[in-house]
Chains A and B, each alone.
Chain A
Amino acid sequence: MSKTPKKINIPSKSFRLIKTVRDISEYQLKANGLRVLYKHIPDTGVVTTNITYLVGAGDERNGESGVAHMLEHMLFKPTVSDLKNKSAGAAMQFEREVGVILNANTWKDRTTYYFSYGQEHFKRAVQIEADRMRNVVLTDKEFLPERTNVLSEFDMYNGDPKFALSVGLVSTAFFSHPYGHETIGFREDIEGYTTEKLQRFYNHFYRPNNAVLMVIGDINLKTTLNEIAANFTHLEPEPSVETRPVINEPKQEGIRRFAIERPGTTNILAIAVKHPGFPTAGWYETMMALKLLTDGTTSLLQKKLVDTGLASSIEFSQEPTKDINIATIFITLTNKTTHQKMEELVLKIIREVDQKHIARELPGYITKTLAEEAFNRDSSLQIAAELTEFTAAGSWEDYFKVNESLKAISVPNIKQRLESLFVEDQLTIGTYKSH
């Protein structure tokens, strides 16, 4: 599927073509290693640019949890040239003058910034990304109010019982792996950030050779590459940019548990399982196994728990992370049962899932997920968002292999996956109790 033609005419000498898969091509800026993914969508008049730095919460040190996310906020603050022009951060100005869609998000393996805008603004979007890659001014004047905003964001999430449970679950599930904290970090760490800590992180990781710039939409290749070359070529790479060491999580021996109690009326049982990284076959099998259990009003656990009045709701979450991570089933209890009884019941139901049931249900879940993929690629913004996860996991071309991966899942795969996920040395269980 992948091809690297030798004599292709690249409309910019500053780039080399790395590969083309279907309608997406990867180029690399010779001067500093910046990678560019390009996909042309004609006649829309709209372009989305998305720059993804291959650094996230999984690259943070102890005591500095959430620093990648804090830095993400600071990239909307003024750069050296913005201050010279006495203007606010250029990204913010871009929105405030033109009305572009802009935002950013940080995850375990990546930090992503994006703009969606009319094609005539392409040059400006590229200039902003190049400027803020190296030149944001990290001073207390800009940093301190933004830290308060991040604390406010933390409190917003932390008020959600499921988020509070997630914080405890990842900390309990991982002894060694840096996925053991949520992306936003611990409140106590956020309060301890300094501009020096941010500067160190920024200097090291925000480099062209640690970034992938995606250009998706109604803009031609020549303009794309020429503008990127004009704005990024002078930026220096960091030859020794740290790559996360391979971490072998210590063997788990028995169920790991976590409990939280707060005032209120909500009671939740969270059952987390460890699964392989994205986008491996094991990741997709885990997703499909959990969908079979929880997705839709007639899924197994919905019928056994929600329809019988024992639970108010059931859902699962699973992240597309590069390394082994946890996926979690959240069960909100009614007053007809206890956490302990619910745990026993759920694990019993899962243990009793047989091949016959899987064979009946699996084809439908696969077809439904395939159709959802088509809907998820509806706009340049959505295409870039999805491509981001594959890029951060290390292989953007797997974006085109979703159908193949899903169709390869068999009934025995799911049976084996369920048997291997829901065993004591894989489980982390959290309880949220109200009083």
Chain B
Amino acid sequence: MNIKTTTENELVIGLVEKESATTISIYLTALVSEKNDPITTAKQILFTELLLSGTKSLSRDQIQEKLRLLGSNIDTIYTNGKITTAISALESKIKPTLNLLNQIISNPTFTSTELKRAKQTLINQLELAKEDAKGFAHAQLNNCFIGVDDKRYSYDPETIIQAVTKVTRTELQALHIVFLNRQWTVTIGGNGAGLKHVLQAIKKIKKDYSSLVPVSMAEKKVSPPKSQLLLHEIKSKQNLELSFGASLPLELRSPDLAAFQFGLAVLGKWGGFAGRLMSTVREKEGLTYGIYARTEQIDLNQTGYWRIMSFFSPKDVKRGITSTIREIKKIHTSGITKSEWQRFTDILKTGERLTYDSLASTTNLVHNNLLLGRNWTDYQNYRQKLYTCTQKEVNLALRKYLLPEQLVISIAGPIAKAKDDLATSFT
């Protein structure tokens, strides 16, 4: 696989070339808002739905029918002030797929009828989100560290529902202008000929629009809140979903980040069974099915937080919390062992290597790095740093940044079933 990233005028470009590929994946992202409030969030979510709901010459049904007949897919999603359009197609169908993409993103109509429909369906989906315990546990923790006007702040479903009703067609049309004119980050995965063709087509679409304002990633520092326990009752659930975490004053460029992320992987590598938390809390103590740790919301200029996510049954929640805190304190105080340092150097290397077995995973990896503000050379340098940091550096980073005294625990689920245990489990 041959990977390149470049910047040209209004485009940040990632190219992932696999000569044998017969499929093409494209991600196209624009940062449309640095600020946040419920209306802004509601507008962006509605925009993602309505972008695919009709153009000057095609109805929503016709767009979907054309996509099916091509065997192609175009989806739009919203995350943290960014609108991303994901396109996938067989290489043989990429030309008509790009023509359709051009129509969709250049000439959406945002009709009143479609806006009414989209509002109704979004409100119904948000009603369902009120029972998403895992989502609530994460959002509660996230919002402890992230300011209410920050694009990374997560508003609760009821607040968004109230805002959705107020969004107008004119506001969506204005957002569309912003989407077209902002810098685009585009990553393409496919064979050489496919990449060339797609890049030319995207440049052609973009040349009619130029940046309204230069986009720079705002600097945002997270400040540590006091240690606390946050609870959200969702009666219908069987298990309690938990997010543990504390603020992390590191950005992508921080020299200590690689060492800290290495140490966090030893504690709870995301996925699989290698982390200490999986060995102890799951395997030895049988308290949960999965327990993992990672950093969240960090980018080139923004600090974020570290998080452990898991779930426990109400009867085990006290033991689960005690065990998890014990492991956090242990690694904070005593650090990782030499054997862990050696093993995880190999584990992290293998993880990167296995990603490249899949074109889709590699394309996704490149795009996500570009969105964080990290080009491919920077990413490779970061990986090298990860593989060469010493045991001492890892332990210093854990001592400095994994602070048990700042721990916040966020829980959502059938809280009432474990009320007494929760009252005494986090003191």
Mask of B96-134 contacts with A, CB within 8 angstroms, 1/0? 000000000000000000000100110011011011010
B415 at the interface (CB under 8 A from A): no
B225 at the interface (CB under 8 A from A): no
The answer to whether A298 and B60 have CB atoms under 8 Å apart is yes
- Once A153-B289, A307-B117 are accepted as A-B contacts, the answer to whether A380 and B124 lie under 8 Å apart by CB is no
Complex: how many Å from CA A349 to CA B231? 43
A82 at the interface (CB under 8 A from B): no
- CB A318 to nearest CB in B, in angstroms, measures 19
- CB B234 to nearest CB in A, in angstroms, measures 7
The answer to whether B71 and A370 have CB atoms under 8 Å apart is yes
Complex: how many Å from CA A361 to CA B67? 12
- Once A152-B289, A368-B71 are accepted as A-B contacts, the answer to whether A266 and B234 lie under 8 Å apart by CB is no
The interface stretch among A4-12, A16-24, A93-101 is: A93-101
The answer to whether B289 and A364 have CB atoms under 8 Å apart is no
Complex: how many Å from CA A44 to CA B316? 44
Partner of B68 from the list A116, A151, A296, A307 (CB cut-off 8 Å) is A296
Complex: how many Å from CA A44 to CA B238? 43
The answer to whether A365 and B358 have CB atoms under 8 Å apart is no
The interface stretch among A59-67, A156-164, A201-209, A222-230 is: A156-164
The answer to whether B127 and A379 have CB atoms under 8 Å apart is no
Complex: how many Å from CA A149 to CA B239? 13
- CB B176 to nearest CB in A, in angstroms, measures 19
Mask of A141-167 contacts with B, CB within 8 angstroms, 1/0? 000111111011101101101000000
Interface centre among B70, B71, B285, B358 (most CB of A within 10 A): B71
The interface stretch among A50-58, A131-139, A173-181, A257-265 is: A257-265
Segment 339-376 of B: residues with Cβ below 8 Å from A: 343-344, 346-351, 353-354, 356-361
B382 at the interface (CB under 8 A from A): no
The answer to whether A306 and B121 have CB atoms under 8 Å apart is yes
Mask of B268-284 contacts with A, CB within 8 angstroms, 1/0? 00001110000000111
Complex: how many Å from CA A92 to CA B353? 19
A254 at the interface (CB under 8 A from B): no
Complex: how many Å from CA A377 to CA B125? 32
Note all chain A residues with C-beta closer than 8 A to B22. Answer: 374
B261 at the interface (CB under 8 A from A): no
The answer to whether A367 and B350 have CB atoms under 8 Å apart is no
- CB B410 to nearest CB in A, in angstroms, measures 18
The answer to whether B289 and A374 have CB atoms under 8 Å apart is no
Complex: how many Å from CA A332 to CA B128? 9
> Residue of B at shortest CB range from A363?
B69
Partner of B128 from the list A145, A146, A313, A381 (CB cut-off 8 Å) is A313
The answer to whether A156 and B65 have CB atoms under 8 Å apart is no
A220 at the interface (CB under 8 A from B): no
The answer to whether B347 and A98 have CB atoms under 8 Å apart is yes
- CB B55 to nearest CB in A, in angstroms, measures 15
Partner of A365 from the list B68, B131, B234, B285 (CB cut-off 8 Å) is B68
Considering only CB atoms and an 8 Å cut-off, how many residues of chain A contact the other chain? 65
Segment 216-269 of A: residues with Cβ below 8 Å from B: 217, 262-266
B23 at the interface (CB under 8 A from A): yes
Partner of A101 from the list B23, B73, B346, B354 (CB cut-off 8 Å) is B354
B64 at the interface (CB under 8 A from A): yes
The answer to whether B88 and A375 have CB atoms under 8 Å apart is yes
Note all chain B residues with C-beta closer than 8 A to A306. Answer: 121, 124
B90 at the interface (CB under 8 A from A): yes
Complex: how many Å from CA A265 to CA B284? 37
B46 at the interface (CB under 8 A from A): no
Complex: how many Å from CA A363 to CA B70? 10
- CB A226 to nearest CB in B, in angstroms, measures 24
Note all chain B residues with C-beta closer than 8 A to A262. Answer: 236
Mask of A333-369 contacts with B, CB within 8 angstroms, 1/0? 0100000000000000000000000000101110110
Note all chain B residues with C-beta closer than 8 A to A151. Answer: 313
Mask of B122-158 contacts with A, CB within 8 angstroms, 1/0? 0011011011010000000000000000000000000
B331 at the interface (CB under 8 A from A): no
Segment 94-110 of A: residues with Cβ below 8 Å from B: 95-103
> Residue of B at shortest CB range from A100?
B350
- Once A266-B131, A297-B60 are accepted as A-B contacts, the answer to whether A159 and B235 lie under 8 Å apart by CB is no
A14 at the interface (CB under 8 A from B): no
- Once A117-B354, A334-B124 are accepted as A-B contacts, the answer to whether A367 and B68 lie under 8 Å apart by CB is yes
Complex: how many Å from CA A364 to CA B133? 37
The answer to whether B272 and A95 have CB atoms under 8 Å apart is yes
- CB B422 to nearest CB in A, in angstroms, measures 18
A32 at the interface (CB under 8 A from B): no
The answer to whether A101 and B272 have CB atoms under 8 Å apart is yes
- Once A96-B343, A155-B239, A382-B358 are accepted as A-B contacts, the answer to whether A371 and B89 lie under 8 Å apart by CB is yes
Note all chain B residues with C-beta closer than 8 A to A95. Answer: 272-274, 347
Partner of A152 from the list B65, B235, B288 (CB cut-off 8 Å) is B288
Complex: how many Å from CA A95 to CA B273? 7
Note all chain B residues with C-beta closer than 8 A to A194. Answer: none
A36 at the interface (CB under 8 A from B): no
Note all chain A residues with C-beta closer than 8 A to B125. Answer: 312-313
Complex: how many Å from CA A155 to CA B90? 40
Note all chain A residues with C-beta closer than 8 A to B235. Answer: 263-264
Partner of A44 from the list B131, B348, B349, B357 (CB cut-off 8 Å) is B357
Note all chain A residues with C-beta closer than 8 A to B70. Answer: 367, 371
A309 at the interface (CB under 8 A from B): yes
A46 at the interface (CB under 8 A from B): yes
The answer to whether B90 and A371 have CB atoms under 8 Å apart is yes
Mask of B227-239 contacts with A, CB within 8 angstroms, 1/0? 0000000111111
Note all chain B residues with C-beta closer than 8 A to A196. Answer: none
- CB A374 to nearest CB in B, in angstroms, measures 5
Complex: how many Å from CA A367 to CA B312? 44
Mask of B298-317 contacts with A, CB within 8 angstroms, 1/0? 00000000000001110010
- CB B417 to nearest CB in A, in angstroms, measures 11
- Once A159-B239, A298-B65 are accepted as A-B contacts, the answer to whether A378 and B286 lie under 8 Å apart by CB is no
The answer to whether A309 and B124 have CB atoms under 8 Å apart is yes
> Residue of A at shortest CB range from B358?
A379
Complex: how many Å from CA A365 to CA B71? 8
Complex: how many Å from CA A118 to CA B349? 10
- Once A307-B117, A381-B357 are accepted as A-B contacts, the answer to whether A145 and B286 lie under 8 Å apart by CB is yes
B72 at the interface (CB under 8 A from A): yes
The answer to whether A367 and B236 have CB atoms under 8 Å apart is no
The answer to whether B236 and A266 have CB atoms under 8 Å apart is yes
Complex: how many Å from CA A130 to CA B93? 45
> Residue of B at shortest CB range from A217?
B357
> Residue of B at shortest CB range from A46?
B357
A–B Cβ pairs within 8 angstroms, 27 of them: A46-B354, A46-B356, A98-B346, A99-B347, A99-B350, A116-B354, A117-B350, A117-B354, A146-B283, A151-B313, A152-B316, A159-B236, A159-B237, A264-B234, A264-B236, A265-B236, A296-B64, A297-B64, A298-B65, A311-B124, A312-B127, A313-B128, A332-B128, A364-B67, A368-B73, A371-B23, A374-B22
Q: Which residues of B contact A (CB under 8 A)?
A: 22-23, 52, 60-61, 64-65, 67-73, 88-90, 93, 117, 120-121, 124-125, 127-128, 130-131, 133, 234-239, 272-274, 282-289, 311-313, 316, 343-344, 346-351, 353-354, 356-361
Query: Considering the complex of A and B, which 7 residue pairs feature the smallest CB-CB distances, nearest first?
Result: A264-B236, A364-B68, A371-B71, A99-B347, A148-B286, A99-B350, A145-B286
Q: Which residues of A contact B (CB under 8 A)?
A: 44-46, 76, 92, 95-103, 116-118, 144-149, 151-153, 155-156, 158-159, 161, 217, 262-266, 296-298, 306-307, 309, 311-313, 332, 334, 361, 363-365, 367-368, 370-372, 374-375, 378-382, 434
Known: A99-B346, A148-B286, A264-B234. 5 other contacts (CB 8 A): A149-B282, A149-B289, A155-B313, A159-B237, A371-B70
